[in-house]
Chain A
Amino acid sequence: MEEKVLEILKSVLELDSIERNIASSNCEKWDSMAQLNISVELESEFGVTLEPEDIAALASYEDILKILKEKGVSDL
């Protein structure tokens, strides 16, 4: 599952390679629109509904894992 999250990030952000420390603060391509697109992909991939507060908080790979865990995506 962690790999799937990384795949989503890599695909949405159009990156050739990706590190686990990726965040909006260290990736120029991670802007507001990209964050929205990441949320859409996460909802689709993991079958969860992200509330506006969750979407706004998706600012790093670690944040994503934390929020998905809170949403009951267990095998992370």
Chain B
Amino acid sequence: MDFVNKKTTDLNETELQDIVTLFNLVFNQDRTVEILLNQYTQNPFGTCYHTLMYDNNVLVGHITGLPGYYVLNDKRMIAVNPIDLMIDEKHRGLQGFMFLVKKAWQYYKEQGVQLVYNLPNNNSHPLFIKLKCTQNIGNLYTYVLPFRAGGIAKSLRLLNFLSIPFCWAWVSFTSCFASKKILKFGVQRDYSTFLERRYKRFDGNYSFAEVKGTKFVYKVMNYDGKRTAFLIDVYEKSQKAFCEAVRYLLKYERKNFDLILYVGFLPFLNPGLIRIPHKFEPKNFNFDGTILNGECISEEDKSIYYDINNWDINLADDDVI
């Protein structure tokens, strides 16, 4: 196997086309070079870090590091989120996986990247951990509000008369007891650089709103056949802020969705939504990471980094929506 490291901005047309072809083959998608370029350049650095794996000059594997600034214990650092990890079927195996990932980590380190945070699927998560490419940080939760039961499952449509008033009552009830205390996080994205380009990815069709000083981003879309309002991010975060965001969605967007979803980790139970226990989640969101320049980071900061309780993490940090 041969490995090539390149920034997006240095990839030639053949390499870009090869990445797109492999992507579409592995993920059964129909993306174009333009779409991928948009995904790879809408970040504070205007580029991503690619590691390409070749067998006899044919691209058989690829991983991209999507960079951004993160603040770890008040210190701003460069972090990457590894995305688009793909190996063609013939070359799949632990050895190829490990070589590809370790080459990528080395490349990121050479580029000055200090942190890697990763939201892998259930297939690759154990590989990352067991091969010591990353350490486990935790699991994200899925928070839900099933507004129109009939939209989630047709057989439940008779329950709409219950689910709709329940949701209104739930938000009002939780809001009464919601704390206004703004949460502080040990690790979070650097908002000053993050907001500028994050929401230009995909179709750029994100909605922004502000209610009583609470800002939030959401996207109403068809997800798995269900009309879903994804509450992507709320800032700054407090229990009350989440309740305000959910109430806003119910008030102004309710005709457009059947359920509200938020995926992330919050240090309180009821942000106007209902937290699904991990064992009942339709999809698991694993979270792991590593520190690339461990010698420069204090033990205290490491322990902060590897504990999800210190993280402000949600789908805004990922590249799935």
Contact = CB atoms under 8 A, between A and B. Distances in A.
Contacts of B127: 32, 36
A33 B132 CA distance: 15
B53 to A, nearest CB: 14
A57 B94 CA distance: 8
B155 interface: no
Contact of A32 (B94, B99, B132, B133): B94
Nearest to A57: B95
Interface string B12-28: 00000000000000000
Interface string A36-67: 10010000000000001101111100000000
A35 B123 CA distance: 13
B130 A39 contact: yes
B95 A36 contact: no
Contacts of A33: 123, 126
A59 B67 CA distance: 34
Contacts of A55: 94, 130-131
B97 interface: yes
Nearest to B97: A32
Interface string B113-130: 000000000010011001
Interface residues of B, number: 14
A59 B95 contact: yes
A32 B98 contact: no
B76 interface: no
Contacts of A39: 130
Interface string B88-114: 000011110111000000000000000
A7 to B, nearest CB: 22
A4 B163 CA distance: 56
Give the one of A36, A55, A56 with max B CB within 10 A: A56
Interface in B72-87: none
A59 B93 contact: yes
A35 B127 CA distance: 10
A59 B127 CA distance: 15
Contacts of B131: 52, 55-56
Given A33-B123, A36-B126, A52 B132 contact: yes
Interface string B242-261: 00000000000000000000
Contacts of B93: 24, 32, 35, 56, 59
B295 to A, nearest CB: 20
Given A32-B123, A35-B93, A36-B127, 15 more contacts: A31-B92, A32-B92, A32-B93, A32-B97, A32-B127, A33-B123, A33-B126, A35-B94, A36-B130, A52-B131, A53-B98, A55-B131, A56-B93, A57-B95, A59-B93
Interface of B: 92-95, 97-99, 123, 126-127, 130-133
23 contacts: A31-B92, A32-B93, A32-B94, A32-B127, A33-B123, A33-B126, A36-B126, A36-B130, A39-B130, A52-B131, A52-B133, A53-B98, A55-B94, A55-B130, A56-B93, A56-B94, A56-B97, A56-B98, A56-B99, A56-B131, A57-B95, A58-B94, A59-B95
Top-6 shortest CB links A-B:
A52-B131, A56-B94, A56-B95, A56-B98, A52-B132, A36-B130
